[in-house]
Chain A
C-alpha cells in the first residue's frame, strides 16, 4: 500500500483525473487532468511543479564522506566544491550499474546522494573504516521540481535572493520567505529548472508559496506522465525501464555497464580504487557490447504502415515503456527500444534504445517493431545524437 508524500493534501485536491501510480512506495500523480498535455506544455513553455519527494535520498556527514562516495560511485568527489552538484552512477564489483543519481555537496562535510532505489544499505557495504555518518532522509525531506523556462522568474518572484546567480548543477541554501530550503539548479526535464529541498514540515507552505508566486507565470502542477515525455526528449536514461539495477537482476544479460547505458562520461577511471573500477577498465579494453542511443522513427514509413489498414497514424499519448525489438536490414535482432514518446515540441517520434555497439553510430538505420491493427510490423528508424531536445536555456544561469 503506497503512502502519501508530504505534498499529498495539495496534490490530491488538484488531481481531478484520480490517475495515480506507485512510485517507490508513495502515491504519485500520473497526470492531474485526464491527459498530461497541458502539464507537458507548461514544462516546456512556462513552468511545471512536480512532487519528486519519492526520490531516494541519503545524507552523508563527516570527514570521510567524499572519500566514501568516491569509493562507491564512479566519480572522484574529493574535489567537488561546496555548492556543486554532479550526476553519476554506481556499480557492483563486476562494473555493472546498480543505480544512477546525483551528489550535492551541501557543506564542507555534508553531501546528499539521490537515487532511484534505496542506497543506504549499499553505502553501508563499503563504509567500514570511514569516518562518516549516513542518514536515510527520503521520508524526512520533501522535494519539488520546478522546471521550465519561467522557473527562475517564479523563484525570484517568490523572494529567493540571488537565484539568477545559481548556475547549472550548483546548489545553495536559501530562504523562501521564512522557509529554509535548499535549491539546486537541476532536474529531470532537460530544461531550465530547479529542485527545491526542504524539511517535511515545511512542505505545504513551500507548495503554496510557489503556486502563489507562479500564478502570474502560468505555473502548473505536473505529473509523472508529463515529466516522462520531457525526460525522453532530454535523452535521460531511466533505471528500471531503460536498464535494470544489477543487484536485482536474475540473469547477467540484464545487467549493464556505465558505457552501455550512456553513462561512460561519468566514469573517472584513473584514480584511487573504486567499486567496479577493474571490471570497467577491462571492458573498455575490449569495447562495450551494447550502446544506449536515441532513435528517430521514420514518420513517412509509420504513416504508410497505418495507411495500409486504412488508419491514420496512431501515436500513443505520452511516453511508452514496454520494450520492443530492433532489427537490422536482414531481420536479425540487434537490440531493443526500451522507452519512447511522440514529442509534441519537436514533432518527432522518439525512442531510447539499447543496441549492439556496431549499430550505434549516428545515422545508422534499423527497423523497429510497431503493432498496427493487431499485426506486428516494422518501420525504419535512425540513430540520432542525444539529447533530442537541448535548448540553450537548459545550461543557462
Chain B
C-alpha cells in the first residue's frame, strides 16, 4: 500500500548499516529530524545478525568487532543500548604437518609458542608490537578526523595537515621512516623487517589482504595490516572481540541509540532513486513509488550504487561519472557460515581448548596465500583459500543451542569477476562452499558429518543481497589511490558529492571499511558544521 509520507525530514539516510545508523544517531543527537531507510527487513547492512537456521544466530557477514571507535561507543552511549563485546584471546594456526601455532594475549606464552618456530622471532614480538602501537597512535589521528587534502589551498586543510605533521615531527626519525615504509611496502616485506619464520608471518600477513584484491606480497598491503591492527578495545590496540548476539548487536545498539535521540528508522524500505532538481537533492523515491522529501539526503551505500544507480549519470558530469566507474570495488572474499552439532576437533590440537575461542587461520605459509591469490588473479576462486574461522558460540552461548555451534569462515579469494563472468557465481556457489569445507576438514576430520546447515555467500550474493557492489566488503578497496583525501574520489572526500544537499557517509568515504562507525560519525559532524542543515 503506497501512501506518500508527507513529513519533511531534515535528513534522509539511505541504508541502515552501522555507518548510516551512526550518522543518523549523531544528527538526531544534534536535534535534527532524521529518517533511515533500509532496503532489507533487518537492520545492520553487513553488520547483521540473522537466525538463518532455527536456534542459530549468525553474524552473516562481518563477524568480529574491534575498529568501532571508542568515542562513538561513549558519545552514543552504546553500552546502555545493549552493546557488549566479548574479547578474543587467541589466534590459532593449525598446520598441515600436524603442528600448530597459537598466539595468546599472554605475551610469555606466545613467546614460548613462537620460539618453537624461531627463537629470534619470539623475542622480536614485543618490538614489533611497540612499533605498531606507535604507528597506530598516528593513524588514529587520521581516522578520527576528516581527511585533509594536501592539494587544497584552503587554510583550514593546511592547519590540519600542519597538526598531523607536528605529531609526526615529534616522533623519532626511524619511526617517521617506518610510516613511509608502511605506506609503500607489502605486508610480507614489512613483516620481514622483524621476523624470519614463514609460519609466523603467514597468519600475520593476511591482515594486509582482507577485503583487498591483492596478495600478501603486493605493495601497499602493509597499510591494510595496520588498518586491522588499529582495533582498540578499552584503550588497548590489537584487541578483537565478538559482539554479544552476533555483529548485528552492534548495529542494533546504534539503532536504539539513534531512536532514543529521536531518529526514525524504517526497514523494508528500498530507495529507488534520489530526487535531484537543478543539481540539488530534495528527497528520495522508494521502490514502491513513495516520495519522501528532505533538506539533505545522505547515502551510506557504496559510491557506485549511490551515483550510478540512485542519482544517475544525467545529473553528473562526465569526469566525475568516469572516476566513480573506475573506483575499484572488485570484491575478493566470500563467507561460509556453518551450523554444526558438535565442536570441530582439530587433529593437531584436539579437544575444546581455549585455542578455539579466538580466530583460527588457515594460512599455513606465505606461498599458500600467494597461490590462493594466483588463482583469483585469473578469475577463479581459490581451491585452497585463506580462511579466517571463528566459533562465536564458544564465547557467546546465546547464538546457538546448547552443545551446538556456529562456525563462521571468512574466505579469500573469491573474485567477483569469474572468468565465466560474475553471473556464473550461482552455478559455482556450492562448489566454492565445498572447497571451503574441504579445506577446513583437512584440519578437522569429522567436520563434514557435523554440519546441520550451510550458508555460502559469494561476492555475487554480497552484491545482490547486501547491496555491496561487486561484493566488496569495504565498499571499495583500501588501496592508497582511494584512501584519505582520494576516497572515494579526489575532490569529494569530505562527505560531499557533486550534487548539492547529497552527502555520503558509508565505508566508501574516509576512513574506509570495517566496523568503525567513523565515516558515519565524521559525515554527520561535517554536515552539521556546514550549516546546511
Contact = CB atoms under 8 A, between A and B. Distances in A.
A212 interface: no
Nearest to A3: B112
Contact of B127 (A1, A120, A136, A248): A248
A376 B478 CA distance: 51
Best-surrounded residue of B115, B123, B127 (most CB of chain A within 10 A) = B123
B121 to A, nearest CB: 8
B105 to A, nearest CB: 11
Contacts of A252: 172
B109 A136 contact: no
A248 B126 contact: yes
A25 B109 contact: yes
Classify the interface of chain A: helix, strand, loop or mixed: mixed
21 contacts: A1-B109, A2-B108, A25-B108, A25-B109, A25-B111, A25-B112, A118-B122, A118-B123, A119-B123, A120-B123, A121-B120, A121-B121, A121-B122, A121-B123, A124-B120, A136-B115, A247-B127, A248-B126, A248-B127, A248-B130, A252-B172
Interface of B: 104, 106, 108-109, 111-112, 115, 119-124, 126-127, 130, 133-134, 172
Contacts of A333: none
A22 B106 CA distance: 11
A22 B121 CA distance: 22
Interface of A: 1-3, 22, 24-25, 118-122, 124, 136, 247-250, 252
Contacts of A136: 115, 119
A1 B106 contact: yes
B132 to A, nearest CB: 11
Contact of B130 (A118, A121, A122, A250): A250
A120 B108 contact: no
B interface secondary structure, majority: helix
The residue among B106, B120, B130 with the most chain A CB atoms within 10 A of its own CB is: B120
Given A25-B111, A118-B122, A248-B130, 7 more contacts: A22-B108, A25-B108, A118-B123, A136-B115, A247-B130, A250-B130, A252-B172
B468 to A, nearest CB: 38
Contacts of A1: 104, 106, 109
Contacts, number: 40
Contacts of B104: 1
A250 B119 contact: no
B108 A24 contact: yes
Contacts of B112: 3, 25
Contacts of A22: 108
A120 B126 CA distance: 14
A376 B122 CA distance: 42
Q: Which of A119, A120, A121 has the most CB of B within 10 A?
A: A121
Nearest to B115: A136
Nearest to A252: B172
**3 tightest A-B contacts by CB?**
A25-B108, A121-B123, A118-B123
Contact of A120 (B120, B130, B134): B120
A60 B109 CA distance: 25
Contacts of B106: 1
A122 B124 CA distance: 9
B169 to A, nearest CB: 14
B467 to A, nearest CB: 42
B5 to A, nearest CB: 54
B24 to A, nearest CB: 37
A22 B112 CA distance: 14
A93 to B, nearest CB: 10
A77 B424 CA distance: 71
A57 B123 CA distance: 13
B526 to A, nearest CB: 32
Given A247-B127, A250-B130, A252-B172, A120 B119 contact: yes
A136 B116 CA distance: 12
Most chain A CB within a 10 A radius of its CB, from B108, B124, B172: B108
A22 to B, nearest CB: 7
